[in-house]
Amino acid sequence: MRIGIVNDLPMAVELLRRTIATTAEHHVAWVATNGREAVEACALDLPDLVLMDLTMPEMGGVEATRRIMAATPCPILVVTASIDANVPEVYDAMGFGALDAIEVPTMAPDGGTSVQANQFLLKISNIAKLVKDSPLTRGNGRNARASFAPARRLIAIGASAGGPAAVAAVLSKLPRDLPAAIVLIQHVDAQFVPGLVSWLGQHTALPIRSARDGDRLETGTVFIAATNDHLVFRSTGELTYTSEPRDNLYRPSVDVFFESVARRWRGDVVAVLLTGMGRDGAKGLKLLRDKGYLTIAQDAATSAVYGMPKAAAAIGAAAEILPLDLIAPRLVQACGHTV
């Protein structure tokens, strides 16, 4: 892959250069020291991947991500010194279409690759496979617990690039007494899930938490897949995690969860596929539609990255294709709820 580096710290740029140089299949195309330069560089020489820092002079990484994805969309990986110190910015950038986030890798004392560097290179390799599997396509825009009540209705949501902002937009319009449980499968590393739970919690009145092994769904609660394994249902109805299929590029996988819903969930289901790169979720959504459940895909105009919903539309998996602002009202209607 040809990689663009966006970072104003010479030491960070050098660490990224050295780490990339340890591979034969990737090389640095250019370096920008702020967001403005990155936007201009992408317009002149679009790389296969941009490594985007967040805090820079002149223009930060969030605004640069927004402008790049609007004008010259390409895969963007947020690479910053500290994820924990920049949680709001990380999810804002992902809302505009950044695929994932990771911290700047370190080098081993002997000059070789460290564990962090190997994790960084693995993430780049996975993005390379994802890009090959499904070229990037953007839309035209983006822009306290209740008492336990076992759920009889499930809203299953899958999302990837651009997902956090899209999910926040949907959840913000759902009433606190919604008569359904919600399970979200968002493509994000397990280490970022606590931050995602906290960030989404600022946008909705619904209680949100990470899904735990053995959980039973509760009406009016949002459960978020929280490990790098796949979230599924047991035959007895509890949530659990599985490493299979191991060769699935998407972890956690929307398809794996949707297929589990089709096999083992005994209540009503509404399934939603939001913005994202690749094809994950399309086959599972089709399976649910074939079983007679309502299936919804986000439209091209409001998707930050029109990949997963596009794949679903292509195979007739979505009974309805809706702009983002109409998805929440449709979910409320489907649940038989009146405001």
Tokens linked to 295? 């299936």
pLDDT in tens, 210-222: 999 999 999 999 9
Residue 141 confidence (pLDDT) above 50: no
* Range 153-334 classified under CATH 1.20.1050.40: no
What are the residue ranges spanned by the domains of the chain?
Answer: 2-133, 153-334
Catalytic residue among 48, 229, 255, 280: 280
Is 280 one of the catalytic residues?
yes
pLDDT in tens, 182-198: 999 999 888 889 889 98
Residue 50 confidence (pLDDT) above 90: yes
Residue 338 confidence (pLDDT) above 50: no
Which residues have C-beta within 8 Å of that of residue 235, sequence separation ≥ 6?
264
Is 230 one of the catalytic residues?
no
Binned at pLDDT 50, 70 and 90, residue 149 comes out as low
What does the pLDDT read at residue 97? Answer: 87
Catalytic residue among 26, 92, 100, 160: 160
Among 3.30.70.100, 3.10.150.10, 3.40.50.720, 3.40.50.2300, name the CATH number for the domain at 2-133: 3.40.50.2300
Binned at pLDDT 50, 70 and 90, residue 106 comes out as confident
What does the pLDDT read at residue 128? Answer: 86
Rg, the chain, Cα only: 20
Which residues have C-beta within 8 Å of that of residue 248, sequence separation ≥ 6?
230, 255, 256
Is 187 one of the catalytic residues?
yes
pLDDT in tens, 4-48: 999 999 999 999 999 999 998 999 999 999 999 999 999 999 999
Catalytic residue among 26, 92, 134, 187: 187
Domain 153-334 in the same topology as domain 2-133: yes
